[in-house]
Chains A and B, each alone.
Chain A
Amino acid sequence: MDERDLESVIGRAQGHDAEALAEIHRLYAGRVFGLCKYMLDSRESAEDATSEVFLKLQRSIGTYDGSIPFPKWLLRVAGNQCIDALRRRKRGRQVIVEVEDITNVEAPSAELSPLGAAIKTEERAQVRDAIARLPVSYRVPLVLRYYSELSYDEIAQQLDLQRNHVATLIFRAKQELRRKLMQRSK
């Protein structure tokens, strides 16, 4: 679907056209579900969150103003939905908490980084598996950054954190990921 088609679909959806909403669902349910699955780590919760996102979309799509690409906007909405779900799960307590310092992990080198070396499909599956096993405080910012492609500022806003804190969490998430992958390859 080219951009103009998408724009027209969004326009119709904003006018509460059921078919247009269904089309948006068809186009993006997979991506939204992927994000939810990473953030919420259970299939059922992810399905629930996905349907919530599209349920809410009927009304919230009216607030989309075209200033950012639609998929990115939708993923931001989905991210918020997941964060809400995580907050509910934690009964309102802080979702992202400080995690103790990680033991020093060596800086990656082009040849040696287990992450950089994961090129084959099955190795990528291992990467995904390792991401899924990250603590939520690492996993959520990491996924928002590299799946939803949000900026540090946007992530900070979504998670109600300082920008520096987000940078640290993403950095540590990658370190932890390397450590997990290294353990596996040993």
Chain B
Amino acid sequence: MECYSEQTCAIFVDGELAADEAQHLRGHLATCQRCRKLVDALRAENRILGESLQELPQETSRPEAFSRWPSWVWGDLAVMGAVLALGSIVSVWIGELEIPGALEWLNPFTPGGLTSLMFDVSYYFTHGGAAMLTEYAAVVGGLFLFLLLGGGALLLGRRGRLPNTSLGLLIVLLTFSLPGFALEHRHGEFVTVAANETLDDTLLAAGNTVRVEGTVNGDVLAFGRTVEVHGTVKGDLVSFARSTVVSGTVEGSIFNFSRSLDVEGQLGHSIYGWMQSLRVDERGHVGDGILVGAGDVNQEGEVKRSVTIFAGSADVSGNIGRELTMTGGNLTLTNTARVGSNLTARVRHLKDVHIAEGATIAGKRDIQERVRKNYFARPGFYFYQALWLASAMAVGWLAVVLFPGFFAACTQAVGAGWRSLGIGVGVLAGVPVAVIVVAVTLVGLPLAFMLFAVYLAALYLAKIWVGAFLGRVLLKPSGTTKGDWLLGLLVGLLILTIVGFIPYLGGLVRFGVVCLGLGAFAWQLYQLSRPAVAA
């Protein structure tokens, strides 16, 4: 009888030959040694093939044990090293500076610090700080993300490599920033530039009280409980403090992140920042304008140009050279107030605007209630919402294209509910504190800026994860193509946007969405930093 072909034998060995043909072949094997050897060899081949293939999963499912051993170990060691280095720098600094006093109001582990922090946080949220921050994040975070994702795509050309790379970048930046700034640097319980003293460098000062009585020819970066400028600062003043008082002269601008800022002296340019209270004393003179978000604003002095404020309450009794634009709660202009151009106010209730008869307003008065129906009546509102939605969709699309796995995982992590919410609240409150604490160490300044940028980006992304999650829950698409994801995202974002405008509930929902999304993102970043099959 003629021998069978090798292919037929192979099909037989696979157990896939038709029953009658297999029967014949078995009969043939009993008599043909050549075919028997062939079938044995094919069986051995199959066994080896199966065994070889099966070995891989164990190897790849525990990459930490085998294949990716070196990369993750080095990666984690590098991160740990960086964190340790940073931690030791911070602790040495804090120890050396005897700074606990200065930073007490920031330290959540002391009763005083905790109450102060809680007060600040609650004040911040009740005064719409969260909304402002997310609005801000919508612009800056979006921009940053486009740069990050676009740049990442261009630079790497590969997917899923970004986290390691940005981490690497962070470490490199940290390393390079170590010897960076050449400036005068002072610390201690009381840091003073004496009245007869002149500094030609930029001054970095950290202490319980930072007082400039002499002259600083550069900028001043100050961290402390109290920052006072009685002398002259030729550059800018950047202040992170509980209270900042300027009774001397700052020829540049003030960038202020304090609880209170009092300007009693001369300021060459502008005031920018976030604070609980801002007061420009009647002796105070601002050479340019004011752009701040604050709880209370008291403008009693002279401002040469425009004033733009987001404030719970604003009292103006001084001079404003150009426009006054105010968004917030109460606005009072006293008899002595003078506005050189238009007055624009968006307030909750018209009755909260008091303009004394003696007040002078050179331009138009445009005072409107910030009622919700006004939102919906304005075409600009829809344009803004459409623009926001389009940019969010664009970011979502980029994320789906570049990191489909990460996108899916983040979206899924939203479903973890309380875990995401809890982490989100922690991250939302913790990161700003961390940013400030990191910024206190000079070497940490670039790191603090990067951290803040990432924080804003994460705030922006929060709505995207939650939107995508919501869309998927509602649509239950059968596929997981990009189209499905994007449709889900669109539906989810639309719903979130609409729900966000429901009075009272909307604010709560927005806050919840930010926390959920932030938590999911943070969790997923954490998962990504750990070696495991993406889940």
Q: Which residues of A pack against B, CB within 8 Å?
A: 18, 25, 29-31, 33-35, 37-38, 44, 47-48, 50-52, 54-56, 59, 84, 88, 107-110, 113, 115-116, 118-119, 121, 124, 127-128, 131, 142-143, 145-147, 149, 151-152, 167-168, 170-171, 174, 177
A53 to B409, CA, bound (A): 12
CA distance in complex: A151, B56 (Å): 21
What's the Cα separation between A34 and B470 when bound, in Å?
31
One of B45-53, B260-268, B455-463 contacting the partner: B45-53
Given A34-B61, A44-B159, A143-B53, the answer on whether A29 and B16 have CB atoms closer than 8 Å is no
Known: A37-B60, A55-B480. A116 touches B14 (CB 8 A): no
- From the candidates A88, A110, A167, A177, name the one contacting B11 in the complex (CB within 8 A): A167
Q: Would B535 and A29 count as touching, CB distance under 8 A?
A: yes
Interface size class of B (residues with CB under 8 A): 35 or more
In this assembly, does B502 line the interface, its C-beta being within 8 Å of a C-beta of chain A?
no
A-B CB proximity, top 8 nearest: A30-B61, A34-B57, A48-B405, A116-B44, A127-B52, A124-B52, A108-B41, A47-B534
List the A side residues contacting B408 at CB < 8 Å.
48, 51-52, 55
Specify which of A34, A171, A177 is in contact with B56 (CB 8 Å cutoff): A34
One digit per residue, 1 when the CB lies within 8 angstroms of any chain A CB and 0 when it does not, for chain B 34-66 equals 000110111011101111111111101110000
The DSSP consensus for interface residues of chain B is helix
Query: Taking the complex as formed, is B372 at the interface, i.e. its CB lies under 8 A from any CB of chain A?
Result: no
Question: Does B404 lie at the interface of the complex (its beta carbon under 8 Å from any beta carbon of A)?
Answer: yes
Q: Are A47 and B533 in contact (CB under 8 A)?
A: yes
Is the C-beta of B116 less than 8 angstroms from some C-beta in chain A? no
Q: Are A116 and B45 in contact (CB under 8 A)?
A: yes
List B residues at the A interface (Cβ < 8 Å).
Answer: 6-7, 10-11, 14, 16, 37-38, 40-42, 44-46, 48-58, 60-62, 158-160, 404-405, 408-409, 412, 415-416, 476, 479-481, 533-535
The 8 Å CB contact of A113, one of B41, B159, B481, is B41
17 A-B pairs within 8 Å (CB atoms) are namely A18-B415, A29-B535, A33-B60, A33-B533, A48-B408, A52-B408, A55-B412, A56-B480, A113-B44, A119-B48, A145-B14, A146-B49, A170-B14, A171-B7, A171-B10, A174-B10, A174-B45
Q: Which of B158, B408, B415, B416 has the most CB of A within 10 A?
A: B408
- Residues in A with CB closer than 8 Å to B57 are 30-31, 33-35
| A147: chain B residues within 8 A (beta carbon) | 50, 53-54
Closest Cβ–Cβ distance, residue B274 to chain A (whole Å):
39
Q: Could you say which residues of chain B place their CB within 8 Å of the CB of A127? A: 48-49, 52
B37 near A109 with CB under 8 A, answer yes
Contact A50 B51, beta carbon cutoff 8 Å: no
B55 touches A124 (CB 8 A): yes
For A107, give its contact among B6, B54, B160 (CB under 8 Å).
Answer: B6
Asked if B405 and A47 make an inter-chain contact with CB atoms under 8 angstroms apart, the answer reads yes
Contacts of A115 in B (CB 8 A): 45, 48-49
Tell me if A128 and B55 are in contact (CB < 8 A).
Answer: yes
A residues less than 8 Å from B404 (CB atoms): 48
- The docked-state distance in angstroms from the alpha carbon of A21 to that of B225 is 51
Residues from chain A with a CB closer than 8 A to the CB of B535 are: 25, 29, 50-51, 54
The answer to whether B480 and A124 touch across the interface, beta carbons within 8 angstroms, is no
Q: State how many angstroms separate the Cβ of A157 from the closest Cβ of chain B.
A: 14
Contact assessment for A109 and B61 in the assembled complex, using a CB-CB cutoff below 8 Å: no
Contact indicator B45/A113 (Cβ below 8 Å)? yes
Complex contact B58–A30 (CB within 8 A)? yes
Closest to A50 in B: B533
- A149, closest chain B residue (CB): B50
Residues of chain A with a CB closer than 8 A to B160's CB: 44, 47
Decide if B481 touches A88 in the complex (CB within 8 Å): yes
Q: Nearest-CB distance from B223 to chain A (Å)?
A: 43
Return chain A residues, CB-CB under 8 Å to B476.
59
Q: Could you tell me the distance in whole angstroms from the C-beta of B414 to the nearest C-beta in chain A?
A: 12
Query: Are A29 and B533 in contact, with the CB atoms below 8 A?
Result: yes
Q: Are B60 and A107 in contact (CB under 8 A)?
A: no
A88 to B: closest C-beta gap in Å: 7
Q: When chains A and B are docked, how far (Å) is the Cα of A168 from the Cα of B160?
A: 37
Query: In angstroms, how far is the closest chain B Cβ from the Cβ of A45?
Result: 8
Sample of 17 more A-B contacts, CB < 8 Å, known A145-B14, A171-B11: A30-B58, A30-B61, A44-B160, A44-B405, A47-B533, A48-B404, A50-B535, A55-B480, A107-B38, A119-B48, A131-B52, A146-B46, A146-B50, A147-B50, A152-B14, A171-B6, A174-B10
Check A30/B60 contact, CB under 8 A, given A48-B534, A146-B49, A147-B54. yes
Q: Are B533 and A30 in contact (CB under 8 A)?
A: yes
Interface centre among B50, B58, B480 (most CB of A within 10 A): B480
A56 and B485 alpha carbons, distance in the complex (Å): 13
**Residue among B38, B52, B60, B479 making CB contact with A108, cutoff 8 Å:** B38
Question: In the complex, A48→B409 CA distance in Å?
Answer: 9
Q: For B44, list chain A residues within 8 Å (CB).
A: 110, 113, 116
Bound together, the chains give a CA A18 to CA B5 distance in angstroms of: 52
Task: Point out the residues of chain A lying under 8 angstroms from B7, CB to CB.
Answer: 167-168, 171
Closest Cβ of chain A to B127, distance in Å, is 38
Report yes or no: A128 in contact with B40, Cβ–Cβ below 8 A.
Answer: no
- Give the CA-CA distance A59 to B478 in the complex, in Å: 9
| B19 smallest CB distance to A (angstroms) | 14
Query: Which A residue's beta carbon lies closest to that of B68?
Result: A43
CB distance from B36 to the nearest CB of A (A): 10
By a CB distance below 8 angstroms, the chain B residues around A143 are 53
Contact between B405 and A51, CB atoms less than 8 A apart: yes
Are A128's CB and B56's CB within 8 A? yes
A43 nearest CB across to chain B (Å) = 8
A38 and B476 CA atoms in complex are apart in Å by: 29
* Distance from B64 Cβ to chain A, minimum over Cβ atoms (Å): 12
- What CA separation (Å) do A74 and B275 show in the bound complex? 57
Task: Let me know if A116 and B41 touch, CB within 8 A.
Answer: yes
Chain B residue at smallest Cβ distance from A110: B41
Chain B's nearest CB lies how many Å from the CB of A162? Answer: 13
Chain B hits for A119, CB < 8 A? 48
Residues of chain B within 8 A of A152, CB atoms compared:
11, 14, 16
